[in-house]
Each structure stands twice: as C-alpha cells, then as structure tokens.
C-alpha cells in the first residue's frame, strides 16, 4: 500500500510541467493545483494560509482543485489538513526582483495528497514544510528547492516506512476479523438451523401425540419424536463444536501472527543493536585514523618548516662568507699594489742616487708613469665602487618595489577578506532571522499538535517506548551524519591552517621589514537582544583566525557555528576551551 503519494514520490516533490502563457494579476503570485485525500473524501478538509508567521485565512476545502493568490515579498506556509489525517505544509517565499514582479510570473502548480494517521508513528518531520518554492535567479522563475528536500528526505522515508508497516498490520487484523466474523456467522446459521429442527421435531411430536388413537401409535410417535429430538440435539452439538473450533482457530492464528510480529521486532532490534555497535567501532577507528593523520600532517609541516628555516640560514651564511672572501681579496690586492709601488719607489731612489744626473729625466718619466698608474688604479677603484653602489641601489629598489607590491597585494586581500566577511555576516544574519521565524512557526505548530493529541494521550503512552526508540534511532543517524561532516570540516580546517602557516613562514623571509604577524589570542563577547543570547568567541592561532558562535533562543533552541558552519555542542566545547 503506497501511502505517501502526495507531493513526494521517493522523497521528491512532484512539480507539474503545466505552465501558463501569461499572468493576468502581476501584483500577486497565482498558486493552484490538486488536493487529494488518500482513501477518503474532501468533506472536513481545509487549507490554512499563514503569512510571515501569522494565520491569515482558513479555507474549507471541497472538490479536488484549489487556487490561491499570494502577495509578493512575503513568506507563506500552506497547511493541508483533515481530522484523522497527516497534515502537510508547503513553504513559498514570494520575494523577487521588483522589475520582474511588475512583469509577473507564471503560476505555480503542484499536487498535495494527505494520508491516514496511525498511532505510534513518529510524524515530527511533518511539523516542518515537506517542500519549498522560491525565486531562483539561475532559472529566472519561481521553482522547487531541491536542496531543502534533500535535507529531510531520510526522515520522510522513515515515516513512510512506519506508516506502510502500520497499514499492513491493520489490513492483516481486518482480514482476521473478517475471517472470524464469517466463521461466527456460519456457526450461528448452523445453530439456527438446528434450533429450527428441534422446534419442528417438537411440533411433530405434539401432532403425533394428538393424533394417536391407540397405545401402539402413541408409543411409536413418542419413539419417533425422541429419535428426531436426539438427532437434532446431535446436529446442534456438532454445529456448536464447529463454531467453537472456528473461534479457537481464529484465536490461534491471531496469537501466531502476534508472536511472529514480536519475533520480527526482536530480530530487527538485535540487528539494529549489532549495526550500532559496528558503526560505533567503525566511527572510533575512523576517529583514531583521522587523529593519526592530523598528527602526521602536523609533524610533516613542522619538519618542512624547520628544513626551510635551516636552508635560509645556510644561504645567509654562504652569502656572508662570499662577501668576506671578496673583501679579503680586495684588501690583499691593495696590499700587493702598495708593496709593488714601494719596491718601485725604492728601486727608483737607488737608481737616482747611483745615476742622478743620467736618470733625472728618467725619474721624471717614472714619476709621471707612477702618477698615471695611480690615476688608473684610482679610476678603476672608483668605477668598482660605483658599480657596487649601482648594484646595491638596484637591489634595494627591486626589494622596495617587491615590498610595495606585496603590501598592495596584502591590502587588497585584506579588503576582499573584509568584504567577504561582511557579506557572510549579512547572509548569516538573514539566515538567522529566517531560522528564528521558522523555529517560532514550528514551536507554535508543535504546541497545537500537542494540544490536539492530549485527548489520545493514554493510547499514545502504550506505544511511547517504541516511538521513543525509533526517534532516538533517527536522532542517532542525524548525529552520526553531523559527526562525519564535523570530522571532514576539521580535516579541511587543519589542512587550511597548515597551508596558511607554511605561507606565512615563507613570506616572513621576504617581508620582515613591513609585515607583523598576528599574535595568538582568544576574545569572547556576549550580546543579549531580549529574544536570544549570542556568544561570539574569536581565536587567533598560528596567524589564522577562527570565529565560533553559540546562539541560545528564549524558546529553548541552542545552535553552534564555526565560521558560519553548523557544528555540534561537543565540537564547540572542545574547540573553544581556553
């Protein structure tokens, strides 16, 4: 029996392909479609229209089709309901660009079908909308939000499975009741026939007694009457025994069916416990493997950073050694030139003393040659110094240009980062407002549901243990998914942190004169606006900033975020621990 044929088929909303060519009412969005009651009539059904969290209209529904007109730039929730049936909700966000609103949109058309509600089935998932429509820029039209449906698909499938099992059990009980009723009717018919036979026998006996004129005839009539009476009593006893046997057979079949259901439930429960243990073991192994991988990644990054630091130190030492050797070679060359000049002077002086007259002209020439040599040497030294200064000036200019470009790039990156943070904060605020409105609507609907179900509290208590167990299983599945997502986020965060750390360490070698790293710090701020309390914790570690937010609503809801991403309470406590 397929119970969930409404706007979902395998968890997806059925959106009709029928599109109208124009919209006669440009200032309203037309919504139309079919509203079906599975296995029932439309009498007693209704459609409740809520706008921005307040009910504005309740329509008594008759027939099979509906048509509504919704104002633009509002959030609507359409509730389709009937006593004894599951209530389904459709959310429609009519916000759209003003120029397109003036032109108008094609009508939304879809089909909703509700089905019978059964005791002991967890229907909390239906407290929220099962489908959502909104304006999609990429399609330039109002369209069905598939991402929203995926988020609750598993819960809808679980509810559908429970409802199908309840329907099958009910059909089985109905069949058994019909079989028992048939057997009882048959036994009653046979008993009626036996009673009629006894009545006829007694009438025959009476007539025989009245007509008998002799003792023999009277005795014969008595004998025949007694024989007929005994025969009818035997038939009545057989009919009664058959009725009792049929009744016992029906009871036996019902008991056997109940025992079979208990056995299947016990097997399913044992299998579920076994699966939970396996999942817990696998989760622990994954956690240990992730921790090991994170530790190995950290050690590898630290080793790589140490190697880079050592390489930079070795390169600096080599540059200093080369400069020292160049300086020593220059001093040695100057010393040798001075020594050669001194020896030449002494030789010239000796020659002058020995041949003063003859060498007067030669001394003058030698002196001029010496002066020319010294001038050449001075010119060469000046040129070498000028070349060295030009090279140093070029190196400083290049370093200054690189520093200016890097500073400009950092300023641009910071501006982009600030813009992204502002956009993310704005999106988070909008999401927060929408979430608060949705939570308030859910809370109101939940209170209404609790009030409606109070009259059936005694029957529900009998099945509460089973329902609670299934709810815990569903919550455990959701928690497992959240843990997996948290581990993936933690791995991505660690990877990003390591990359940022490596990048910062590399840039330190070229930006030491103008770059100041952020110190490790932890700041905490709490804001209470009367509706909720928001605690923001900012942690800077290894020049990487992470923002954690805890939001506590007055209605009891508590949510945790890391860089605008949803996380669990345990993650929040571990990561923000001082």
**Is 140 in the same domain as 180?**
no
pLDDT for res 211: 67
Q: What is the pLDDT of residue 35?
A: 92
Among residues 116, 144, 107, 108, the alpha carbon closest in space to that of 129 is found at 144
Q: 71 near 51, Cβ under 8 Å? A: yes
Q: How many other C-beta atoms can be found within 10 angstroms of the C-beta atom of residue 576?
A: 18
What pLDDT, on a 0 to 100 scale, did the predictor assign at position 81?
93
pLDDT at 501: 64
Reduced to 3 states (helix: H, G, I; strand: E, B; else coil), residue 256 is helix
Extract the runs of DSSP E, i.e. beta strands, from 501-564.
Answer: 521-528, 532-541, 544-553, 558-562
Tell me whether residue 385 is in a domain.
no
Where among 233, 257, 282 does a domain terminate? 282
CA 61 to chain centre: 36
Q: How many domains are there within the chain? A: 3
Short-list 2, 69, 78, CA closest to 35: 78
> Are 180 and 223 found together in one domain?
yes
Given 260, 282, 304, which residue is the final one in a domain? 282
SS3 32: strand
Domain annotation covers residue 302: no
Q: What is the pLDDT of residue 14?
A: 39
Same domain, 126 and 16: yes
3-state DSSP percent of the chain in helix, strand and coil, to 5: 65, 20, 20
**pLDDT lower than 70: segments of the chain:** 1-26, 208-218, 449, 453, 455-469, 471-472, 475, 486, 497, 501-517
Give me the sign of the Cα torsion angle 288, 289, 292, 297.
negative
Residue 531 DSSP symbol: S
Per-residue pLDDT, 374: 81
**Model pLDDT, residue 539:** 92
Three-class SS state of 34: strand
User: Residues 111, 31: one domain?
Assistant: yes
What pLDDT does 456 receive? 66
Q: What is the pLDDT of residue 15?
A: 38
Residue in 20, 17, 49 with CA at minimum distance from that of residue 143 = 17
pTM here is 0.33
- Inside any domain, residue 394: no
CATH number, position 20: 2.60.40.10
Listed in sequence order, the residues at least 6 apart from 202 whose beta carbon sits closer than 8 Å to its beta carbon are 225, 229
Question: Edge-to-edge, what's the strand order for the sheet holding 565-567?
Answer: 521-528, 532-541, 544-553, 558-562, 565-567
322 alpha-carbon distance from chain centroid: 60
175 and 83 fall within a common domain: no
- Residue 258 CA to residue 256 CA, distance in Å, equals 5
**Is residue 11 located within the same domain as residue 133?**
yes
Q: Is residue 50 part of a domain?
A: yes
Based on the domain organization, do 112 and 176 belong to the same domain? no
87: in domain = yes
- 135 and 232 share one domain: no
DSSP string, 493-508: HHHHHHHHHHHHHHHH
Under 8 Å between Cβ of 556 and 440: no
Residue 255's SS3 state is: helix
Identify whether residues 80 and 191 lie together within a single domain.
Answer: no
- Asked if the structure places residue 7 within a domain, the reply is yes
Q: Would you state the structure tokens that stand for residue 568, as one six-digit string?
A: 């669990």
Are residues 555 and 496 located together in one domain of the fold? yes
131-136 vs 88-93, strand pairing mode: parallel
Distance from C-alpha of 100 to C-alpha of 140, rounded to nearest angstrom: 9
pLDDT of amino acid 212: 60
Residue 311: inside a domain, yes or no?
no
Q: Residue 497 falls within a domain, yes or no?
A: yes
Give the model's pLDDT for residue 511. 45
CA gap 444, 81 in Å, rounded: 16
Domain with 122, as residue range(s), is 1-144
468 phi, psi to nearest 5 deg:
-65, -40
């Amino acid at each position: 029996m397929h119970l969930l044929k409404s706007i979902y088929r395998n968890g997806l909303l059925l959106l009709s392909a029928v599109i109208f060519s124009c919209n006669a009412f440009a200032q309203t969005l037309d919504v139309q479609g079919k509203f079906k009651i599975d296995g029932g009539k439309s009498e007693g059904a209704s459609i409740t229209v809520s706008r921005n969290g307040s009910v504005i209209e309740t329509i008594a529904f008759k027939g099979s089709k509906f048509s509504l007109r919704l104002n633009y730039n509002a959030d609507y929730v359409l509730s389709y309901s009937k006593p004894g049936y599951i209530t389904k909700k459709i959310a429609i966000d009519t916000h759209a660009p003003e120029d397109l609103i003036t032109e108008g949109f094609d009508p939304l058309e879809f089909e909703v079908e509700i089905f019978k509600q059964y005791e002991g089935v967890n229907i909390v998932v239906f407290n929220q909308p099962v489908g959502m429509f909104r304006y999609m820029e990429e399609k330039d039209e109002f369209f069905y939000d598939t991402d929203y449906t995926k988020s609750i698909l598993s819960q809808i499938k679980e509810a559908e499975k429970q409802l199908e099992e309840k329907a099958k059990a009910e059909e089985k009980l109905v069949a058994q009741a019909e079989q028992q009723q048939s057997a009882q009717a048959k036994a009653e018919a046979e008993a009626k026939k036996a009673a009629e036979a006894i009545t006829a026998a007694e009438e025959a006996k009476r007539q025989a007694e009245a007509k008998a004129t002799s003792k023999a005839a009277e005795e014969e009539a008595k004998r025949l009457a007694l024989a007929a009476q005994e025969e009818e009593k035997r038939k009545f006893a057989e009919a009664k025994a058959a009725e009792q046997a049929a009744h016992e057979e029906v009871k036996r079949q019902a008991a056997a069916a109940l025992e079979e259901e208990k056995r299947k439930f016990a097997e399913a429960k044992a299998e579920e416990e076994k699966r939970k243990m396996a999942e817990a073991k696998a989760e622990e192994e994954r956690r240990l493997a992730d921790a090991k991988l994170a530790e190995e990644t950290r050690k590898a990054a630290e080793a790589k950073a140490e190697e880079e630091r050592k390489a930079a130190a070795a390169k600096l030492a080599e540059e200093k050694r080369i400069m020292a050797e160049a300086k020593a070679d220059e001093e040695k060359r100057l010393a040798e030139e001075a020594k050669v000049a001194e020896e030449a002077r002494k030789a010239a002086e000796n020659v002058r003393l020995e041949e003063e007259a003859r060498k007067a002209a030669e001394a003058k020439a030698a002196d001029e040659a010496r002066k020319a040599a010294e001038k050449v040497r001075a010119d060469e030294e000046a040129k070498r110094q000028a070349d060295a200064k030009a090279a140093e000036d070029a190196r400083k200019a290049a370093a200054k240009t690189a520093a200016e470009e890097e500073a400009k790039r950092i300023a641009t990156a910071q501006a982009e980062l600030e813009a992204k943070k502002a956009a993310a904060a704005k999106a988070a605020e909008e999401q927060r407002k929408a979430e608060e409105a949705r939570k308030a609507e859910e809370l109101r609907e939940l209170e209404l549901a609790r009030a409606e179900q109070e009259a059936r509290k005694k029957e529900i208590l009998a099945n509460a243990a089973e329902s609670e167990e299934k709810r815990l299983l569903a919550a455990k599945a959701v928690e497992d998914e959240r843990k997996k997502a948290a581990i993936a986020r933690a791995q991505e965060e660690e990877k990003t942190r390591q990359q940022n750390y490596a990048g910062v360490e590399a840039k330190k070698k070229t930006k030491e004169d103008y770059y100041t790293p952020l110190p490790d710090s932890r700041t905490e701020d709490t804001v209470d606006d009367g509706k909720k309390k928001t605690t923001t914790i900012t942690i800077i570690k290894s020049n990487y900033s992470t923002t954690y937010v805890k939001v506590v609503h007055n209605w009891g809801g508590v949510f945790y975020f890391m860089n605008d991403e949803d996380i669990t309470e345990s993650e929040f406590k571990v990561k923000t621990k001082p």
